[in-house]
Structure 1
């Protein structure tokens, strides 16, 4: 079972990471780096899948926003507040928003959509999106790699604690059995 799961991850892991990064991504990268830490996936390819999935997702959302525009935002009142925030941030910070929006919580999918609806040039968006994605995917991949190492250490520590707990339970049962035996005598 475990071997077939590892084979499944090895076969479809990069695609799953790219698909996960299409929407948000941090969890997909972390899980990918955990698999890489276990030598099921290759860390650089996890980073590459995250980068390509993120760029694809951002640009699809951008072009959907460009095509559907303001009417789509008007039909989604829960996006309206975010869209207003994106517009204000874009007006104030310009290109920095196109580079750094994926670091803003709950703004990752709506920002490219809003930028597309605002009429930002597709080439301009792609240029800044690639820069921002490279920064994001490198940062998240490095952090995820170190977290994967910490998770491995924690699991090993938990395994040691489980062994100690098992020894403790065996000793407690032996002592309990001895006390029961002595009381019965």
Structure 2
């Protein structure tokens, strides 16, 4: 059973769990299915926002409650925590609102914020706003992309469509390769 079939069979609860695990990818699948008439786009965005909010709250709680002992037992995480501290010093509230766009640190950032004795009430409010902004932005951007892609593919021949898909796939692979290399260089630079 494919992931799309799971979402169609189990609906919004599966979408909720999927966003907990895979964030944007599952949200975009939900947006696509909403465009096809299987889901409601506002509900997809709401479920994604709630899922993202609760995941970040859980990480914040774990960091707040168990962070110090967690770091003592895992010294290799100290580097990530130090990186998040530098980001907090540089961006402050902006980091709390926008950490969802920083791939690889989505769970670490709320945990580190909790470890840093950030106000729980302030984090709840900023986390709720950030989750809603993230879900609306990704959901509406995905909806627009799906609409534009459907419009373009409807006008193309099958050969043109295949060529465009291959080029997009190659471009995506190249971009992921470059991003991975950038991350590797950044890790080697950070002391």
Please say whether Structure 1 and Structure 2 have the same fold, judged by a TM-score greater than 0.5: yes
Instruction: Report the Cα distance in structure 1 between the residues aligned to 2:16 and 2:26, rounded to whole angstroms.
Output: 8
Q: Provide the residue aligned with 2:71 in structure 1.
A: 73
Name stretches of at least 5 consecutive residues in structure 2 with no aligned partner: 163-191
3-state SS, counterpart of residue 147 of structure 1: helix
> Hey, what does 2:35 align to over in structure 1?
37
Cα deviation digits, residues 121-155 of structure 1 (max 9, x gap): 21111011111112111110011112222443466
Does residue 122 of structure 2 align to residue 161 of structure 1? no
Task: Give the conservation status (yes or no) of the 8 Å contact 1:9–1:40.
Answer: no
Q: Which residue of 1 aligns with 2:139?
A: 141
Q: Is contact 1:30–1:148 with CA below 8 Å preserved after alignment? A: no
Output the CA distance in 2 between the equivalents of 1:156 and 1:70. 55
Specify the alignment match of 1:58 in structure 2.
56
| Residues 83-111 of structure 1 deviation map (CA, whole Å, 9 limit, x = unaligned) | 11111111232211111111112121111
Task: State the alpha-carbon separation in 2 of the partners of residues 138 and 127 from structure 1.
Answer: 17
**2:83 equivalent to 1:88:** no
Check conservation: 1:23, 1:109, Cα contact below 8 A: no
Q: For 1:112 and 1:76, locate their aligned partners in 2 and report how far apart those are by CA, in whole Å.
A: 17
When normalised by structure 1's length, the TM-score is: 0.75
Q: For residues 26 and 87 of structure 2, what CA distance do their matches in structure 1 show?
A: 28
Say whether residues 1:130 and 2:128 are aligned partners: yes
What residue number does 1:174 align with?
A: none
TM-score, normalising length from structure 2?
0.73
Aligned mates of 1:153, 1:16 — CA distance in 2? 29
Larger Rg: 1
* Residues 78/46 of structure 1: CA separation in 2 closer, same or farther (3 Å cut): farther
RMSD: 2.7
Structure 1 residue 10 displacement after superposition: 4.1
